[in-house]
Amino acid sequence: MTIAERIRLEIEARIASGEWSPGHRIPFEHELVTHYGCARATVGKALTALVRAGLIERRRKAGTFVAYPHVQSAVLDIPDIGKAIAERTGSYRFDLLTSDIWTDDGISGNFASGTHLRHVTGIHQGQDGPFAFEDRLISLDGVPEARDADFTLQSPGVWLLQSVPWTQARHRISAIGASAEVSAHLAIPRHTPCLLVERWTWRAGEPVTCVCQTFRGDRFDLVATFAPEGR
């Protein structure tokens, strides 16, 4: 067993036993480094695994906390949002707002510290106006060709679906009130009910992208069809 696995398992055990309840702040990284006598990167690897598992969450400048449990619903695929909006309204376009390159500091837990990223924001527009605000990070270490992709011609989501085969995905959907930024982009009053769809994809265990898509609550439907086993 590696030190990173030991750290992860011991933290998992404390959470599972209730010793560390939701909202509990776990020791800072430097405290874990001292306790286990290991490198900071080793601690970061263990914490990243726990973030991906949904057991902890990292808050910038505040620390790392045991996550509160969420009611989750299965999402069976990664949809083409543009196609869905076009079918519903008759037209679709993606308006690119910002695009820049930076290096991840490891605080979010979505990527390893030092990962080179392309950060993109934009608006998914239908015939009736804006449907969703998108804030996306793409790993340039895993997908170097994304550095020069032209997202004014094609949305990042469609480009990734066509260009990068993924092997693992995770979704999380939650209800939120529109922030000042989101309300401005979606043309709705602040605190208007919205649905936040967060998605992570990996290829052979390596992170590909992390995206937050905030939908107007009156313009978003999540539909999945199921059949009993054996039928």
DSSP 8-state assignment for residue 24? P
Query: For the chain, which residues make up each domain, given as ranges?
Result: 3-66, 81-219
The domain made up of 81-219 has a fold known as: Chorismate lyase (3.40.1410)
Look at residue 128 in the predicted model and tell me its pLDDT. 79
Quick: pLDDT tens for 124-137.
998 878 999 999 99
Chain position carrying tokens 């990962």 = 115
**Where are the strands (E) in 79-229, listed by range?**
92-103, 116-126, 129-139, 168-177, 193-203, 206-216
Quick: pLDDT tens for 29-66.
999 999 999 999 999 999 988 988 888 988 877 889 99
Quick: pLDDT tens for 85-116.
888 788 899 999 999 999 998 777 789 889 99
DSSP assignment of 156-175, as one string?
A: HHHHHHHH---SEEEEEEEE
Parallel, antiparallel, or unpaired: how do β-strands 116-126 and 129-139 relate?
antiparallel
The domain made up of 3-66 has a fold known as: Arc Repressor Mutant, subunit A (1.10.10)
Look at residue 95 in the predicted model and tell me its pLDDT. 97
- Mean pLDDT score, 2-17: 91
- Percent of residues, the chain, with pLDDT higher than 70: 90
Look at residue 57 in the predicted model and tell me its pLDDT. 87
Tell whether the model's pLDDT for residue 76 goes beyond 60.
Answer: no
Give the separation between CA 101 and CA 174, rounded to whole angstroms. Answer: 28
